[in-house]
Amino acid sequence: MELLIPLDSQSKKSLYEQIYGHICREIREGSLTAGERLPSTRMLAEHLKVSRSTTQMAYDQLLAEGYIEARPYRGYFVSQLDGLFDAIPESRQQMRREEPEGEGYLVDFSPRGIDLDSFPYNVWRKISRSTLVDDNREMFHAGSPQGEPGLREAIRGYLHTARGVKCSVEQIIVGAGNEYLLMLLAQILGSQRRIAMENPTYRQAYLVFCSLGYPVFPTEMDENGMNPEQLKASGADVAYVMPSHQFPTGIVMPVGRRQELLRWAEDGPDRYLIEDDYDSEFRYRGKPVPALQGMDRSGRVIYLGTFSKCIAPAIRVSYMVLPPQLVERYQAQAGFYASTVSRIDQNILYQFLSQGYFERHLNRMRAIYKAKHDALLEAASPLETAFQIRGEYAGIHILLTSREGRREEELISLAAEAGVKVYGLSRCDIGAKREMETSTVILGYASLTESQIRMGAELLTSCWI
Amino acid sequence: MELLIPLDSQSKKSLYEQIYGHICREIREGSLTAGERLPSTRMLAEHLKVSRSTTQMAYDQLLAEGYIEARPYRGYFVSQLDGLFDAIPESRQQMRREEPEGEGYLVDFSPRGIDLDSFPYNVWRKISRSTLVDDNREMFHAGSPQGEPGLREAIRGYLHTARGVKCSVEQIIVGAGNEYLLMLLAQILGSQRRIAMENPTYRQAYLVFCSLGYPVFPTEMDENGMNPEQLKASGADVAYVMPSHQFPTGIVMPVGRRQELLRWAEDGPDRYLIEDDYDSEFRYRGKPVPALQGMDRSGRVIYLGTFSKCIAPAIRVSYMVLPPQLVERYQAQAGFYASTVSRIDQNILYQFLSQGYFERHLNRMRAIYKAKHDALLEAASPLETAFQIRGEYAGIHILLTSREGRREEELISLAAEAGVKVYGLSRCDIGAKREMETSTVILGYASLTESQIRMGAELLTSCWI
């Protein structure tokens, strides 16, 4: 029996997911019936011109979920579906969850996407292999709780030269994502804290603080960032800020405001600033803005960085730089927590950094994102009569605010009719809505090609102007 | 210049760490002086008969820590050490931290060690390569927060057949280690909880509960495990237990006691049992004891399992099975947390499980650990006149209790003089000391060879009898 499976090499779904999904549907819709025999993975691979491992992965998942069964020496057969009905909705749901929000749109300006086409897969594979060489077995023994010394030294070197962060390796803690590091930080700072956040802000961090049980005080911003008067008034003792490129507004906090915030921290006995430096690698005009942490003379800044944005979301590695007095608290109160990052992965990343691949990758991505950024600004220029563009020249998204105060909902639905997904600024709102939010949309461009960006901008012009 | 580096292939330290350590010392002690040129990685590799990647890793770490510097086209040279004194203590401390506690002993009966000599490194490498094949790029995109569907289905299948755990994949959450999963669980259960723990118990879990701010009630055990009367009296609403093979006592909780604990949980509106099934894979006599979770009819058991013990500590993958009503709370209160395990690693593990390697590995390890267990019991038989042996026939450690009530400290120091490291039971104590603890030592045997085990037991006999 032959399977005709239409494969789309442009799809965000991998080939194996497409093959898996197709056979799933065929079975659920009854086009493939119980007891029917499937082609061998080898035959199917030749037939579809894909690698054997691809068809094997698709069959493995079908087997794991019970859609098909393997009979020794005979091959793969469609299963009786009775009693499988727990598994099916789950797997459907999972598949949905893994689809990008914008599925079905011509162009999705998701602010969460990143460009993975330019990821140096071959280098990564090469390093992975060399990390698993035979005389390297200690990789499988438990490592240091704070993270591998070599990796932390490589991170220290990068932060020092690229971000002006001043720290020793003892101050760096490597962890499986910013959310985990915030959980860990909560155990260092204690439960009696009041957190101030810029409004609008990075919603994920807001959700973490809430689920950790902290009261969060949304704080207004002016054109220089978080308003220090409101911060004082809030009675907070911890402020979470993104000075280099605030998400989502794109505001870059000038030195004066940074000093005001540092003074606020120094005015209290145990006050801290959490600096989330999530996408500072990407700046397309002027000198790079050094991190706030580098200005800190009194140990009040907790610095957070991640490799999810600049390498890949699936690389679950972030890092936190603690001021010296918090390092002591960490060792006393949370030093017993084992590292959450596999030692093998830490060493792959260490090689990637210390052999210079990371710097090369960043330079490459900076050029690629700048080209996309420029393409978007150029293609969006017809919109400028009706929209103010903000947050440009840095990061991987811009903001469009309607000069006529048209509502975000209207802009989103008009765009949707034209097949373009844009995102309302209000989704980043953690306090009362403000006028600015109600007429601003976010356009992320990292995961789009330049031609998709141009098409998207043209479609938006045609439906908004 | 030639470097004579004595390499010990039996050492717990990898070859690269030995080379790194040797050159470090030579530089710090001044035998290698600033400006001196080192052999190339190729020459050193040939000279020491190790792979090039080994010498490269050693040099990379020395470079990263500033001991040596690379000059283009000229090679590697010893650095001026001035100003490096932040880095050195750190790296020393890290190296120490990575050494097993028992460094310097002839035999270390560490209960924390596991046998990694039998780990299927080639299979792991093969799977890692196939997971990183070219048409598999979606591995680098963010995955499902609960864990990859395929991996969770493979875990469900294993738990169902091997442990009698009854659940659907929706109830399984994959995370970077038990400690992280307990942090996540804390956000599902809320902060107003009182935790009861067996005493003595697994100290790491005790520390996690304390650092999460929960009051912990140490609860006495009888020969059947946690005392239900004391549990009721404690006023706790969550009980952390290890019914299949309690750590450290080795007690297997009989069905009657399990039912009593389940009834206790059902008697309260929102009571739960946390079942840590940490080493149940290893049983050497009688039928395997199914998990408590399988007896739970009212959704009161939270099941915890890990791959650290049965695969490798550096594989930071654990899993938690939530009862249905807690799945709802998880999705509402903590469903936004991204997975803490790299998607690539999850898929390597998924292949390892679904292709049958895990089962084969477990069977192999069970046989290896049983042989070590039998060797220890046989070699320790001369001790039985003076010591009661407990916790045998399961897990990877046993207990020896002095029949004459000799103090733990005395036994430990006598053993130390004979070059053997044993561990006092009181280190697992979380409440007031009890007589039993003061005269009991723990002997872990997983990471020792059978001849080391025999030598260790003979040395203990000679110094204790």
A271 with A241: CB under 8 angstroms? no
In A, which residues are within 8 Å of B316 by CB distance? 176, 338-342
Question: Three-class SS of residue A222?
Answer: strand
Of B141, B169, B208, the CB nearest to A116: B141
Give the span between the Cα atoms of A420 and A319, in whole angstroms: 35
In B, which residues are within 8 Å of A128 by CB distance? 128-129, 132
Min Cα–Cα distance to chain A from B67, Å: 12
B144 contacts A176? CB cut-off 8 A: no
A132 contacts B124? CB cut-off 8 A: yes
Q: Which strands make up the sheet holding A423-424, listed edge to edge?
A: A387-390, A397-402, A440-444, A423-424
> What is the pLDDT at residue B91?
34
Give the span between the Cα atoms of A113 and A452, in whole angstroms: 14
Residue of A nearest to B207 (CA): A336
> What is the pLDDT at residue A139?
73
In A, which residues are within 8 Å of B138 by CB distance? 12-14, 17, 98
Mean pLDDT per 10-residue segment, chain B (465 residues): 71 80 79 81 84 83 75 77 39 36 82 86 85 70 88 94 93 96 95 94 93 92 94 96 93 92 95 93 81 94 92 88 96 92 92 92 92 96 95 92 94 95 91 68 95 96 94
B57 contacts A313? CB cut-off 8 A: no
pLDDT above 70 covers a percentage of chain B that reads 91
The pTM of this model reads: 0.76
Burial of B450 (0-12, 13-18, 19+ CB in 10 A): middle
Min Cα–Cα distance to chain A from B39, Å: 19
> What is the pLDDT at residue A91?
34
Give the span between the Cα atoms of A95 and B150, in whole angstroms: 11
pLDDT digits (tens, 9 = 90+) for A158-202: 999 889 999 999 999 999 999 999 999 999 999 899 999 999 999
CA A31 to chain centre: 39
pLDDT digits (tens, 9 = 90+) for B396-430: 999 999 999 999 999 999 999 999 999 999 889 88
CA B66 to chain centre: 33
B90 contacts A169? CB cut-off 8 A: yes
> What is the pLDDT at residue B94?
34
Residue of B nearest to A134 (CA): B121
Interface test with B, best of A15, A122, A135 (most B CBs within 10 A): A135
> What is the pLDDT at residue B114?
87
Interface test with A, best of B69, B133, B173 (most A CBs within 10 A): B133
Min Cα–Cα distance to chain A from B182, Å: 11
Residues in chain A with pLDDT < 70? Answer: 1-2, 64-65, 72-73, 81-103, 134-136, 432-437
Min Cα–Cα distance to chain A from B342, Å: 5
Measured over the CA atoms of residue B447, residue B452, residue B454 and residue B460, the dihedral's sign is negative
B157 contacts A65? CB cut-off 8 A: no
A342 contacts B315? CB cut-off 8 A: yes
> What is the pLDDT at residue B398?
95
> What is the pLDDT at residue A289?
80
Q: Is the ipTM of this complex over 0.85?
A: no
In B, which residues are within 8 Å of A54 by CB distance? 133, 135-136
In A, which residues are within 8 Å of B336 by CB distance? 204, 207, 211
Of B16, B149, B191, the CB nearest to A94: B149
> What is the pLDDT at residue A242?
96
In A, which residues are within 8 Å of B61 by CB distance? 149-150
> What is the pLDDT at residue A156?
95
Q: Which of B46, B34, B128 is nearest to B84 (CA)?
A: B34
In B, which residues are within 8 Å of A150 by CB distance? 60-61, 64-65
DSSP state at residue A384: G
Cis? peptide before B39, omega within 30° of 0: no
Interface test with B, best of A24, A69, A98, A185 (most B CBs within 10 A): A98
> What is the pLDDT at residue A92?
33
Q: Which of B435, B428, B415 is nearest to B249 (CA)?
A: B428
Give the span between the Cα atoms of A261 and B178, in whole angstroms: 38
A354 contacts B176? CB cut-off 8 A: no
In B, which residues are within 8 Å of A207 by CB distance? 336
B177 contacts A314? CB cut-off 8 A: no
Which residues, in sequence order, are CB contacts of A250 under 8 Å at separation 6+? A390, A391, A392, A394, A395, A397, A398, A399
SS (H, E, C) chain B: CCCCCCCCCCCCCCHHHHHHHHHHHHHHCCCCCCCCEECCHHHHHHHHCCCHHHHHHHHHHHHHCCCEEEECCCEEEECCCCCCCCHHHHHHHHHHHHCCCCCCCCEECCCCCCCCCCCCHHHHHHHHHHHCCCCCHHHHCCCCCCCCHHHHHHHHHHHHHHHCCCCCHHHEEEECCHHHHHHHHHHHHCCCCCEEEECCCCHHHHHHHHHCCCCEEEECEECCEECHHHHHHHCCCEEEECCCCCCCCCCCCCHHHHHHHHHHHHHCCCCEEEEECCCCCCECCCCCCCCHHHHCCCCCEEEEEECCCCCCCCCCCEEEECCHHHHHHHHHHCCCCCCCCCHHHHHHHHHHHHCCHHHHHHHHHHHHHHHHHHHHHHHCHHHHHCEEEECCCECCEEEEEECCCCCHHHHHHHHHHCCEECEEHHHHCCCCCCHHHHCEEEEECCCCCHHHHHHHHHHHHHHHC
Angle between helices B87-98 and B15-28 (to 10 degrees): 140
Interface test with A, best of B8, B12, B54, B57 (most A CBs within 10 A): B57
Give the span between the Cα atoms of B82 and A115, in whole angstroms: 42
Q: What kind and span of H or E run contains A273?
A: strand A272-276
